[in-house]
Amino acid sequence: MHAVLARLDLDTQQPGTWLGAWSEDPDAPLITSINPATGEPIAEVRAATVEEYEALMARAVEVADAWRRVPAPRRGEAIRLVGEALRARREDLGALVSLEMGKILAEGVGEVQEAIDIADFAVGQARMLYGKTMHSERPEHRMYEQWHPLGVVGVLTAFNFPVAVWAWNACISAICGNVTVWKPSPKTPLCTVAMQRVCNAALEAGGFPPIFLSFHDAGTSLAKRFVADRRVALVSFTGSTAVGRRVAQVVAARLGRSLLELGGNNAVIVDDSADLELVVPAVLFGAVGTAGQRCTSTRRLLVHAAVADEVEARLAKAYRQVCVGDPLAPNTLMGPLIDEPAVVAFERAVAAARAEGGKVLSGGATLPGPGHFVQPTLVRAWHDWSLLREETFAPILYAVRWEDLDEAIAWQNAVPQGLSSAIFTADVRRAERFLASTGSDCGIANVNIGTSGAEIGGAFGGEKDTGGGREAGSDAWKQYMRRQTTTINWGQTLPLAQGIRFGS
């Protein structure tokens, strides 16, 4: 058994369905968790059966009915305990993320920190679920709005952030008074089991009910049932645009709510006044970090022709120094891709870039096994390649030259996705041009900061094929609640709105 599992008291065979107690039906298939750095199995997690799913949903509805009655600041106390528990296990959980997902340890621990941050945020938010008061047009009337829990919130997460994305949803959902049911990616089942164990133990010790439930699906049939389930008031889905589109349609057909965080195709614009001491590390982190498997990863570098040679040379040098290998080893900067299909997608994209006449300035190759390792890859590209419109979840950066900023912004926006974007410039006018309503069309637009690594305090998400959802900070909490407009007549007459007189 791997030492990381032992530190978290995990066995090599885990029951996967948590409905307030672990449930394990021996007839359900096992999901094998694979170490992407070696291709070897780490452990097996039991998927749920239909019966277990139904029992879990019945439990979710029952717990939600009790949880909505708990005052919101008290709900915040539950999340304070969850945040403390995550703090205490930060390094161990971070190591598990590295082991199972393949991101380097600093990023694995960083992801758990992101979960701790959103827990802290949620604790404060629990006392700030503010509604507005309005002035009624009628005398002796009071009008206001209040926010109530939705009930059961469903969260489907991707492999690339197996901890943080659930935490963004679950912590906010919890203080809003909901029970959260989690269906994770079958590629990272152990992270879910470990998170459930740590968070549930904290809730239980604090005398709180099981507000975080979870199940695993070996295929897609339970996930489909989940998305179509009318008991799930809000479906929060993170994953590909193709799957997100289907999720949105199924949820819309039953007039449920969906919150989508789908693909990104993020560009960094560099102008000729940019501080290259900022550009190089920001682009390196954005394009090579997490082996290019963030939805916020930098995929396109739009660089002013006057500085393009220098930027390319500095980046190519930095790329050559990237240590690719075991994500748990201290010097590694880039771990493996998640699996073999991801390597194939990388190879296809590099071959297509070569076929277009692109110049590979660094990398381009798959590394010999075991494990799913590729080289961080920098390609000189042209803005009109159709390849640039696609999101390949791999460390490939396309560098494109421009001479006119308006054109660079137009190229940046000329992709289906609209998640994150950035400009590097020392010119305030160009920065503002980029941020204006005619500038970046993305949900995130940064100046002298890369495209990835957003803080939890802002609303996170994007436009167009990214799905339009906003999670984490700011007022994202409102999506996890229903709004009620209330008018109270404290007088002794019944004036009608709009001055209508009806009858005598």
Q: Residues with catalytic annotation?
A: 261, 295
Q: At residue 326, what are phi and psi to the nearest 5 degrees?
A: -55, 120
For residues 162 and 192, the answer to whether their CB atoms sit within 8 Å is: yes
270 sits in which H/E element: strand 266-270
Say how far apart CA 408 and CA 410 lie, in whole Å: 5
Question: Of residues 45, 260, 262, 295, which one binds ligand UN1 by CB under 6 A?
Answer: 295
Cis-peptide into 71, omega within 30 deg? no
The interface with ligand UN1 within residues 20-49 (CB under 6 A) comprises: none
For residues 301 and 397, the answer to whether their CB atoms sit within 8 Å is: yes
Nearest residue to ligand UN1 by CB is 454
Using the minimum distance from each CB to ligand UN1, give the nearer residue, 326 or 471.
471
Instruction: Give yes or no for residue 296 binding ligand UN1 (CB under 6 A).
Output: yes
Using the minimum distance from each CB to ligand UN1, give the nearer residue, 35 or 452.
452
Using the minimum distance from each CB to ligand UN1, give the nearer residue, 250 or 459.
459
Question: Of residues 23, 236, 440, 452, which one binds ligand UN1 by CB under 6 A?
Answer: 452
For residues 190 and 45, the answer to whether their CB atoms sit within 8 Å is: yes
Using the minimum distance from each CB to ligand UN1, give the nearer residue, 29 or 468.
468
The interface with ligand UN1 within residues 134-163 (CB under 6 A) comprises: 160-161
Please name the residue that has the structure tokens 């989940």: 226
Tell the smallest beta-carbon distance from residue 421 to ligand UN1 (Å): 12
Question: Of residues 279, 409, 454, 481, which one binds ligand UN1 by CB under 6 A?
Answer: 454
3-state secondary structure 84-133: HHHHHCHHHHHHHHHHHHCCCHHHHHHHHHHHHHHHHHHHHHCCCCCCCE
Angle at 369 between CA 364 and CA 373, to 5 degrees: 40
Q: Which stretch binds ligand UN1 (CB under 6 A): 80-88, 122-130, 173-181, 446-454?
A: 446-454
Using the minimum distance from each CB to ligand UN1, give the nearer residue, 76 or 453.
453
AA letter at 94: G
Q: Write down the H helix ranges in 229-375.
A: 241-253, 276-288, 305-320, 340-355
Tell the smallest beta-carbon distance from residue 1 to ligand UN1 (Å): 30
Instruction: Give yes or no for residue 188 binding ligand UN1 (CB under 6 A).
Output: no
Q: Which stretch binds ligand UN1 (CB under 6 A): 275-283, 288-296, 378-386, 432-440?
A: 288-296
Strands 463-464 and 459-460: unpaired
> x-or-dash pattern for ligand UN1, window 323-342, by CB under 6 A?
--------------------
Question: Of residues 263, 453, 462, 469, which one binds ligand UN1 by CB under 6 A?
Answer: 453
Tell the smallest beta-carbon distance from residue 161 to ligand UN1 (Å): 5
For residues 400 and 303, the answer to whether their CB atoms sit within 8 Å is: yes
| Cβ-based neighbours of 128, under 8 Å, separated by 6 or more | none
Dihedral sign, CA of 96, 102, 105, 108? Answer: negative
Tell the smallest beta-carbon distance from residue 293 to ligand UN1 (Å): 8
Q: Which stretch binds ligand UN1 (CB under 6 A): 290-298, 335-343, 360-368, 481-489?
A: 290-298
Using the minimum distance from each CB to ligand UN1, give the nearer residue, 85 or 101.
101
Dihedral sign, CA of 389, 472, 168, 91? Answer: positive
The interface with ligand UN1 within residues 100-129 (CB under 6 A) comprises: 114
Tell the smallest beta-carbon distance from residue 6 to ligand UN1 (Å): 29
Residue 483's CB is within 10 A of a number of other CB atoms, namely 11
Instruction: Give yes or no for residue 238 binding ligand UN1 (CB under 6 A).
Output: yes
Q: At residue 433, what are phi and psi to the nearest 5 degrees?
A: -60, -40
Q: Which stretch binds ligand UN1 (CB under 6 A): 67-75, 338-346, 376-384, 450-458?
A: 450-458
Using the minimum distance from each CB to ligand UN1, give the nearer residue, 30 or 106.
106
Using the minimum distance from each CB to ligand UN1, give the nearer residue, 114 or 217.
114
End-to-end CA distance of the chain: 82
Say how far apart CA 278 and CA 90 lie, in whole Å: 29
Tell the smallest beta-carbon distance from residue 157 to ligand UN1 (Å): 9
Q: Which stretch binds ligand UN1 (CB under 6 A): 70-78, 294-302, 361-369, 399-407?
A: 294-302
Q: Which stretch binds ligand UN1 (CB under 6 A): 77-85, 93-101, 293-301, 370-378?
A: 293-301
For residues 123 and 133, the answer to whether their CB atoms sit within 8 Å is: no
Using the minimum distance from each CB to ligand UN1, give the nearer residue, 160 or 417.
160
Tell the smallest beta-carbon distance from residue 320 to ligand UN1 (Å): 24
Tell the smallest beta-carbon distance from residue 239 to ligand UN1 (Å): 9
Question: Which of 383, 361, 166 lies closest to 283, judged by CA?
Answer: 361
Tell the smallest beta-carbon distance from residue 361 to ligand UN1 (Å): 24
For residues 453 and 459, the answer to whether their CB atoms sit within 8 Å is: no
Say how far apart CA 312 and CA 326 lie, in whole Å: 27
Which residues are at the interface with ligand UN1 (CB under 6 A)? Answer: 114, 160-161, 165, 238, 294-296, 452-454
